[in-house]
Amino acid sequence: MDRRSFITKAGVVGVGAAAAGFAAPAIAQGNITWRMVTTWPKNFPGLGVGAQRLADRITAASGGRLTIQVYSAGELVPPLQSLDAVIDGTAEMSHGAAYYWQNKSPALSFFTGVPYGMTSRELAAWVRYMGGQEIWDEIYDQFGVQGFLSGDTGTQAGGWFKNELTGLDSVKGLRFRTPGLGGRVWEKLGVTVTNLAAGEIFQALQSGTLDAAEFVGPYNDLALGFYQVAKNYYLPSFVEPGLATELVVDKKKYQALPADLQALIRDASQAEYDQVASDFYANDPRALQTLVNDHGVKVHQFPDDILKAGAEAAKEVMSELHQSSDPLVKKTADSFIEALNILRTRTEGTDGSFIQARKNFFSI
């Protein structure tokens, strides 16, 4: 996608639309209008489109009883203030990633992506069937909101680097955009870490403020134009093995809805979790072909010493959370670790063995 075209589509709405967004939610003849703020640029592949599709699902399935108006990053509030907008009542919903809010509770990072942690399928199993949702509810109860899994990118890309990595020493001192617990792991490897919203990363790379950046993977990264300023692309990520996005809802307003509309929000979010996963699975490999064939991107895997050091750092981070003085952080870490140790027996013993056999013996 041409970056200029993408940015044009991602432009900020006019003053009149923004002013209308600050009006109180419309309630007329039993119909309700809610505002959803997002951390994603307008029309952003996979994530922004998924947020809009989720809003459209709820609006259509409710027959207009609950209409969701979507505000992309910066249209109503800055992207990384989306959760605060729900907490303070500026919006009824936000669409983003839970690890963006780790300053409120480190436990929230477990519901997005954990270094060397769960794949997206494992994460969904933990949240839906192994107590993860109930713990997530406890965390968000502190802020008066309710969280739902709403999208799944699968295993992400490791990032874009201006220079090829030759080993662990080559990352020390790099200025790298990466969020969540993954950022804490990279810091332990000697990297200077920052978090930026999607629409801010390209300029930081281009200006030299950043030496490297990761966002999601080929589908999104092609649209963001990173290949124009960095050619070394590392796959896969070892710090974001199964990233999930979230829908957050004002809990008091959510519980005031009729039971069928509450169920509709929950079930539409679950449907979008799976829909977004299919979108990324279909379009990541095609976007990667475009990056390599049309833009000269060089695809690498991380050197083994980086992977090994990253694994040791991930263990340290997990141990720190396991020993946290915050009971909810410790509870979340304990539940996550227990579930991971069960679920990985399926993923590695069954799925992984099949993938290796197919790679070794089958081609058509």
Q: What is the pLDDT of residues 338-361, one digit of tens each?
A: 999 999 999 999 999 999 999 999
Q: The whole model's pTM is what?
A: 0.89
Give the architecture-level CATH label for domain 3-101+114-154+244-283.
Answer: 3-Layer(aba) Sandwich (3.40)
- Give the tens place of pLDDT for each residue, 227-239: 999 999 999 999 9
> Is residue 30 very low, low, confident or very high in pLDDT (cuts 50, 70, 90)?
confident
For residue range 266-301, list pLDDT tens digits in order. 999 999 999 999 999 999 999 999 999 999 999 999
pLDDT band at 29 (very low <50, low <70, confident <90, very high): low
Distances (CA, A) of 164 to 158, 202, 299, 315: 13, 19, 10, 26
- Where would I find the H helices in 117-215? 120-129, 132-141, 180-188, 198-207
Exposed / middle / buried, residue 170 (Cβ in 10 Å: 0-12, 13-18, 19+)? middle
pLDDT at residue 2 in the model: 43
Question: What is the distance between the alpha carbons of residues 17 and 40, in angstroms, rounded to a whole number?
Answer: 18
In this structure, of 2-6, 215-219, 275-279, the range with the lowest mean pLDDT score is 2-6
